[in-house]
């Protein structure tokens, strides 16, 4: 069994990006600039945004965090998005999700101009990704495909089973894994799937993205499979300073000995998600997509 080290892989990619940014600046260009809108004070969102700011620093990017209180109105938020859409100093921006219940998340996603949508959530980017056209790829799926490539894990003709059909992980990952060049045979499972374990046992690459700690047990995994654990559930843990620990969707201790490759949580998919955002921001700054 080999551990897939997302932390080390993402560090290598960030170093490559930083070298590229240094060359751009040496040639008279300017550093890419990522902005993030953070609404309210959700602990998870605060951490994600802080990690994105740190990643920007590592890549030599500028970053700006724009905070609004949880009672911000939808009109105010949409107006802020319009301002960022028009700001030529900002190459790309994200609105950290989830948003408070009174805000229509889909309206917010669709308000971001597709050429600044470095999260790849706008329907234009989602649609272009499905068609295999240049676009900003959704960050978590792009990070997963990058990890598979980095570790030379064969995908062509292989069976890839994804548990979870969310708009940010399952669906866009299915589109990427079946793309020409990746060439996996994809099955997407969800809460209505019958005979789930029979399906997962056929997977050469099994991706767990459902948000249920330890859901994937050893009997659900084919010997020699590659297992990608996307889950990051905060589980209370009094022994930690933070009061919680992050738990993946895979019963790591039992599953790892059966696999050829497996991602840990934390340190697997999470850091790759952030690095994909950095890659999208660089591509936005260089107008490589639009
Ligand atoms: P989500 O929107 O809650 O979607 C969960 C999916 O899992 C749904 O499609 C749901 O099916 C399916 N599901 C739930 N219970 C199931 C069961 N018993 N059997 C089969 N399918 C089941 O979640 P998400 O946003 O995709 O996130 C999933 C997990 O990944 C969470 O832990 C999240 O924190 C984590 N995550 C991590 C990263 C990262 O960078 N590491 C990024 C994004 C998300 P239905 O559609 O039928 O309800």
Which pLDDT belongs to residue 245?
94
- pLDDT at position 156, please? 98
Q: Which residues line ligand 1 (CB under 6 A)?
A: 140, 163-166, 168-170, 189-193, 196, 209-212, 230-233, 269-270, 273
As a whole-number percent, the residues of the chain with pLDDT over 90 amount to 100
Alpha helices in the chain (DSSP H): 6-26, 43-59, 74-86, 105-111, 123-131, 139-150, 170-177, 196-200, 252-255, 269-285
CA atoms within 13 A on the CB side of 230: 24
- Give the phi and the psi of residue 53 in degrees, each rounded to 5: -65, -45
Q: Which of 91, 96, 129, 279 is catalytic?
A: 96
> Measured in angstroms, how far is the CA atom of residue 169 from the centroid of ligand 1?
8
Whether 2 is catalytic: no
Q: Please tell me the distance between residue 210's alpha carbon and the centre of ligand 1 in angstroms.
A: 3
Using alpha carbons, list the distances in angstroms from residue 289 to 112, 279, 284: 16, 11, 7
Mean pLDDT over 260-284 rounds to 98
Read off the pTM: 0.97
Give me the catalytic one of 52, 116, 171, 222.
52
Residue 78: its pLDDT value, please? 98
Q: How far is the CA of 229 from the centre of ligand 1 (A)?
A: 11
| pLDDT at res. 135 | 97
Best substitution site from 47, 164, 267, 270 to test ligand 1's pocket, by max atoms within 8 Å of Cβ?
Answer: 164
- Sign of the alpha-carbon dihedral angle for 11, 16, 17, 19: positive
pLDDT in tens, 78-103: 999 999 999 999 999 999 999 999 99
232 pLDDT band (50/70/90 cuts)? very high
- 48, 120, 209: residue to mutate for ligand 1 pocket, most atoms within 8 A of CB: 209
Compute CA distances 61 → 22, 25, 188, whole Å: 10, 11, 36
In whole angstroms, give the CA distance from residue 30 to residue 211: 39
Burial class (CB in 10 A: 0-12, 13-18, 19+), 235: exposed
Answer yes or no: 52 catalytic. Answer: yes
The encoded tokens of residue 244 equal: 């919680």
Distance 177 CA to ligand 1 centre (A): 18
Give, using CA atoms, the residue closest to atom 15 of ligand 1: 191
Per-residue pLDDT tens over the stretch 105-157: 999 999 999 999 999 999 999 999 999 999 999 999 999 999 999 999 999 99
Distance (Å) from CA 247 to ligand 1 centroid = 13
Residue 106 known to be catalytic: no
Quick one: how far is CA 174 from the chain centroid? 14
Catalytic site residue from 91, 119, 204, 249: 119
pLDDT of res. 200:
99
- Which protein residue has the closest C-alpha to ligand 1 atom 30? 231
Closest among 213, 218, 217 to 248, alpha carbons compared: 213
- Helix, coil or strand: residue 127: helix
pLDDT digits (tens, 9 = 90+) for 162-187: 999 999 999 999 999 999 999 999 99
């Amino acid at each position: 069994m080999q551990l897939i080290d997302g932390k080390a892989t993402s560090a290598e990619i960030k170093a490559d990006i930083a070298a590229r940014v240094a060359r751009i600046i040496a040639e008279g260009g300017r550093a890419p600039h990522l902005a993030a809108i953070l609404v309210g004070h959700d602990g998870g969102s605060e951490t994600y945004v802080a990690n994105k700011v740190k990643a920007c620093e590592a890549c030599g990017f500028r970053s700006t965090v724009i905070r609004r209180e949880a009672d911000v109105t939808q009109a105010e938020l949409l107006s802020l998005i319009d301002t960022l859409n028009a700001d030529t100093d900002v190459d790309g921006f994200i609105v950290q999700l989830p948003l408070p219940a009174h805000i229509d998340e889909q309206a917010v996603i669709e308000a971001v101009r597709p050429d600044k949508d470095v999260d790849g959530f706008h329907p234009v980017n989602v649609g272009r990704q499905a068609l295999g056209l240049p676009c900003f790829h959704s960050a978590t799926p792009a990070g997963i495909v990058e990890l598979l490539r980095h570790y030379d894990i064969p995908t062509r003709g292989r069976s890839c089973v994804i548990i979870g059909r969310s708009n940010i992980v399952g669906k866009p990952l299915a589109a990427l894994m079946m793309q020409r060049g990746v060439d996996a045979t994809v099955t997407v499972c969800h809460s209505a799937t019958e005979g789930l374990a029979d399906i997962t046992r056929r997977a050469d690459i099994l991706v767990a993205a459902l948000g249920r700690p330890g859901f994937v047990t050893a009997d659900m995994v084919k010997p020699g499979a590659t297992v990608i654990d996307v889950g990051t559930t905060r589980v209370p843990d009094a022994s930690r300073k933070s009061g919680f620990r992050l738990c993946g969707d895979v019963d790591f201790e039992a599953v790892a000995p059966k696999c050829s490759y497996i991602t840990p949580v934390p340190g697997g998919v999470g850091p790759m998600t952030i690095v994909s955002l950095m890659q999208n921001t660089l591509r936005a700054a260089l107008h490589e997509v639009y």
